[in-house]
């Protein structure tokens, strides 16, 4: 049963001036039955970064999860493919997890599914049709991932999860079709999780958000709104995807050379506009990038991309058409090492090379942390003769996230008693919290939480009380590196960072087992530290230093390789720092004969 209609009244008194970071003191005994049976809400990712989105709702013996995404690595995470949420807090609770809900098909919301679902008992997964296709395709890439029990939902679906949660959905808009906000009804009140959203009255190949229904939900009473904060620092309204198509069409109409467009493969709405433009101006499309080809195929089969297959070019055809008939659509606008645009820039593509007359459009905003890679990519492409156009030069990209006026509209429609900004770095959450104050939500009812920090709702007399507690779940990074999940620790990253900064030097010493004396001169191998042919004096001094270290070992005692290695590591490290003011990683190798 859904809760009876209920109105939540706003606190109209002047906002408190206490620092919003301060944790609210719980004014009810933690031993009380109401507090122990409280509804707990926390995020295992997405509150201190852009990505790794995963929210958990826990009430009595029932748990539901919203989203299960990945985060792309930071620049100092050498060799890491991506980061996923830490699920230590869900251990031994697998039987209580009633289901996983996925709001839409972007990797920062679906990317961790192959790594996590088996570990939490592979509960049912609820999502829209297009998202389901993208999830299934990704799941095929992981041989040990379980077969998923995917249940399709739409805006009419109503699902009961255990005894505590009744969930329904409302369609919202983003940069990919089939996106839903999640409406979670409990006997304490209703919580709404928006997922990623923007207000778009003219979306591409998707229905507009149901604004009327959103307003009705607000009239019925909303206990807490959890809302997307990614563009909370940007004023105004987000522009429509249709507007971007018009602007890009006017640009391409004037171009006579090849047009090369880089964007996210998951930007299905953008891809549809590009197909429409190509048809209008008699260009054919050459798709590039594994994810681009895969997503176009899935979206086309699902009916979310509409085009005639004859518009697509094969490898053999792409260089036979006149340049003014070719449009190349690929991945790599974020400067990813193995993506299409980077391979093109590095002249590693099998069929294509940049040439005079090419226009390359970066039709996506830059993900924070990728600025330098993207700028380097643009420079390389420009040097090779291409004209490069980016979204800051003209409207060739529309964000998928609501800007400040969109966010305020959502809050005014839903009128929540409590508000929790989600999905963004801390400064984005803080900016969103300030917007919430502007629309009249009391400061003490706004929860700017950290990853893992638990919010509790419980009955206090005849009212429902919400508090941001000091309780925290483990949200340490779980890093994926190749086939390894969680086997790369901070210590490994520190070693990689050290090697990246000062290089490494390998010291190989051969020791006579019986006497402990060193045989010959140690071998020295330098990687990323010094060029050995030009540093012969330093290398020779290092060899002599190693011999002295080994000779200083008491040959009357049994040989202890670890002891000798530690001596070499410490003393040679100090010696090289004194000589060069650099501290390479020293790797001693002891061979006994």
Q: Output the pLDDT for position 1.
A: 39
pLDDT surpassing 70 at residue 348: yes
CATH topology classification for 40-236+399-480: Metallo-beta-lactamase; Chain A (3.60.15)
Over residues 411-436, the mean pLDDT reads 96
Range among 213-227, 314-328, 514-528 with highest mean pLDDT value: 213-227
Q: Are the C-beta atoms of residues 47 and 41 closer than 8 Å to each other?
A: no
pLDDT surpassing 50 at residue 24: no
Over residues 296-302, the mean pLDDT reads 90
Q: Please write the tens of the pLDDT for every residue from 237-267.
A: 887 777 776 778 888 888 889 999 988 888 8
Asked which of 273-282, 297-306, 548-557 is least confident by mean pLDDT, the reply is: 548-557
| CA atoms of 450 and 46, how far apart (whole Å) | 9
Q: Output the pLDDT for position 5.
A: 39
Over residues 116-141, the mean pLDDT reads 94
Q: Output the pLDDT for position 395.
A: 47
Over residues 134-159, the mean pLDDT reads 93
pLDDT surpassing 70 at residue 91: yes
Confidence of residue 442 (pLDDT cuts 50, 70, 90): very high
| CA atoms of 57 and 40, how far apart (whole Å) | 6
Q: Output the pLDDT for position 572.
A: 87
> SS3 for 328-342, per residue?
EEECCCCCCCCCHHH
Strands 478-481 and 82-84: antiparallel
Reference 344, options 357, 365, 363, 358; nearest CA is: 358
What does residue 227 show for φ and ψ, rounded to 5 degrees?
-130, 145
Q: Please write the tens of the pLDDT for every residue from 191-229.
A: 999 999 998 888 877 788 889 999 999 999 999 999 999
Class of domain 490-592: alpha beta
Sole residue written with tokens 């077969």? 147
Contacts of the segment 33-40: beta carbons below 8 A, 24+ positions apart: 34/458, 34/459, 34/460, 35/456, 35/458, 37/458, 38/456, 38/457, 38/458, 39/164, 39/186, 39/188, 39/456, 39/457, 39/458, 40/454, 40/455, 40/456
Give the distance, in angstroms, between the CA of residue 212 and the centroid of all CA atoms in the same chain: 31
Over residues 167-194, the mean pLDDT reads 94
Q: Which CATH architecture has domain 241-390?
A: 3-Layer(aba) Sandwich (3.40)
Reference 458, options 23, 164, 37, 166; nearest CA is: 37
Between the CA atoms of 458, 184, 179 and 485, what dihedral angle is there, to the nearest 10 degrees? 60
520 conformational bin, left if phi > 0, alpha if psi -120 to 50, beta if neither: left
| CA atoms of 314 and 460, how far apart (whole Å) | 66
Between residues 391 and 455, the one the model is more confident about: 455
Over residues 173-178, the mean pLDDT reads 88
Q: Output the pLDDT for position 578.
A: 85
pLDDT surpassing 60 at residue 148: yes
pLDDT surpassing 80 at residue 28: no
pLDDT surpassing 70 at residue 29: no
Q: Output the pLDDT for position 202.
A: 80
Q: In what order do the strands lie in the sheet with 189-193?
A: 158-161, 165-172, 179-186, 189-193, 222-228, 416-422
User: What are the residue boundaries of the structural domains of the chain, listed by start?
Assistant: 40-236+399-480, 241-390, 490-592
Q: Please write the tens of the pLDDT for every residue from 362-410.
A: 887 776 667 788 888 899 999 998 999 876 554 454 678 999 999 999 9
Confidence of residue 567 (pLDDT cuts 50, 70, 90): confident
Over residues 69-87, the mean pLDDT reads 79
Q: Output the pLDDT for position 394.
A: 45
| CA atoms of 510 and 386, how far apart (whole Å) | 56
Over residues 303-311, the mean pLDDT reads 90
pLDDT surpassing 70 at residue 592: yes
pLDDT surpassing 60 at residue 19: no
Reference 253, options 271, 280, 275, 276; nearest CA is: 280
Q: Output the pLDDT for position 214.
A: 95
Residue-averaged pLDDT of the chain: 85
Reference 209, options 282, 341, 104; nearest CA is: 104
Q: Please write the tens of the pLDDT for every residue from 491-514.
A: 555 665 666 667 888 888 888 777
SS3 at position 241 = helix
Between residues 53 and 333, the one the model is more confident about: 53
Range among 79-83, 209-213, 418-422 with highest mean pLDDT value: 418-422
Q: Output the pLDDT for position 8.
A: 35
| CA atoms of 318 and 166, how far apart (whole Å) | 52
Q: Please write the tens of the pLDDT for every residue from 263-289.
A: 888 888 889 989 999 999 999 999 998
DSSP 8: P
Over residues 430-441, the mean pLDDT reads 96
């Amino acid at each position: 049963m859904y809760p009876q209609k209920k109105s939540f009244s706003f606190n109209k008194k002047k906002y408190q001036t206490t620092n919003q970071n301060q944790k609210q003191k719980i004014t009810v005994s933690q031993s009380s039955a109401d507090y122990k049976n409280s509804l707990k809400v926390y995020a295992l990712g997405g509150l201190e970064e852009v990505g790794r989105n995963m929210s958990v709702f826990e009430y009595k013996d029932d748990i539901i999860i919203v989203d299960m995404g990945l985060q792309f690595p930071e620049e100092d995470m050498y060799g890491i493919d991506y980061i996923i949420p830490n699920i230590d807090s869900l251990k031994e609770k697998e039987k209580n997890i009633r289901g996983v809900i996925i709001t839409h098909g972007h990797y920062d919301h679906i990317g961790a599914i192959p790594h996590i679902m088996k570990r939490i008992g592979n509960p049912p997964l609820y999502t829209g049709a297009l998202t389901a296709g993208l999830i299934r395709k990704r799941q095929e890439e992981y041989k040990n991932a379980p077969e998923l029990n995917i249940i399709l939902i739409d805006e009419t679906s109503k699902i009961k999860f255990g005894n505590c949660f009744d969930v329904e959905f409302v369609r919202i808009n983003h940069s990919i079709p089939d996106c839903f906000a999640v409406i979670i009804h409990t006997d304490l009140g209703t919580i709404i999780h928006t997922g990623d959203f923007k207000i778009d009255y003219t979306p591409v190949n998707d229905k507009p958000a149901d604004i009327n229904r959103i307003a009705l939900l607000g009239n019925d009473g909303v206990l807490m709104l959890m809302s997307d904060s990614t563009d909370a620092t940007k004023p105004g309204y987000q522009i429509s995807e249709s507007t971007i198509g018009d602007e890009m069409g006017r640009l391409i109409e004037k171009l006579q050379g090849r047009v090369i467009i880089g964007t996210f493969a998951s930007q299905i709405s953008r891809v549809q506009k590009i197909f429409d433009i190509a048809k209008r101006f008699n260009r054919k499309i050459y798709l590039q990038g594994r994810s681009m080809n895969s997503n176009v195929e899935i979206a086309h089969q699902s009916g979310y991309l509409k085009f005639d297959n004859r518009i697509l070019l094969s490898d053999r055809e792409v260089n036979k058409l006149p340049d003014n008939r070719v449009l190349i659509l690929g991945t790599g606008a974020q400067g990813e090492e193995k993506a299409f645009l980077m391979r093109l820039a590095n002249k590693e593509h099998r069929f294509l090379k940049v040439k005079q007359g090419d226009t390359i459009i970066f039709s996506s905003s830059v993900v924070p942390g990728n600025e330098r890679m993207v700028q380097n990519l643009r420079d390389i492409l420009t040097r090779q003769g291409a004209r490069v156009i980016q979204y800051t030069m003209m409207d060739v990209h529309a964000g998928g996230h609501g800007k400040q006026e969109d966010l305020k509209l959502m809050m005014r429609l839903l009128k929540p008693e409590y508000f929790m900004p989600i999905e963004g770095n801390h400064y984005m959450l803080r900016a969103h919290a300030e917007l919430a104050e502007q629309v009249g939500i009391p400061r003490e009812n706004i929860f700017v939480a950290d990853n893992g920090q638990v919010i509790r709702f419980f009955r206090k007399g005849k009212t429902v009380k919400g508090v941001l507690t000091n309780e925290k779940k483990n949200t340490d990074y779980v890093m994926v590196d190749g086939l390894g999940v969680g086997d790369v620790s901070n210590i490994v990253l520190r070693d990689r960072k050290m090697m990246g900064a000062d290089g490494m030097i390998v010291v190989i010493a051969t020791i006579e087992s019986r006497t402990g004396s060193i045989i010959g001169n140690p071998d020295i191998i330098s990687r990323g530290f010094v060029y050995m042919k030009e540093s012969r004096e330093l290398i020779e001094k290092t060899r002599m230093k190693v011999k002295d270290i080994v000779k200083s070992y008491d040959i009357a005692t049994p040989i202890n390789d670890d002891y000798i290695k530690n001596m070499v590591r410490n003393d040679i490290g100090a010696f090289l720092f004194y000589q060069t003011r650099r501290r390479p990683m020293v790797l001693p190798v002891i061979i006994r004969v």
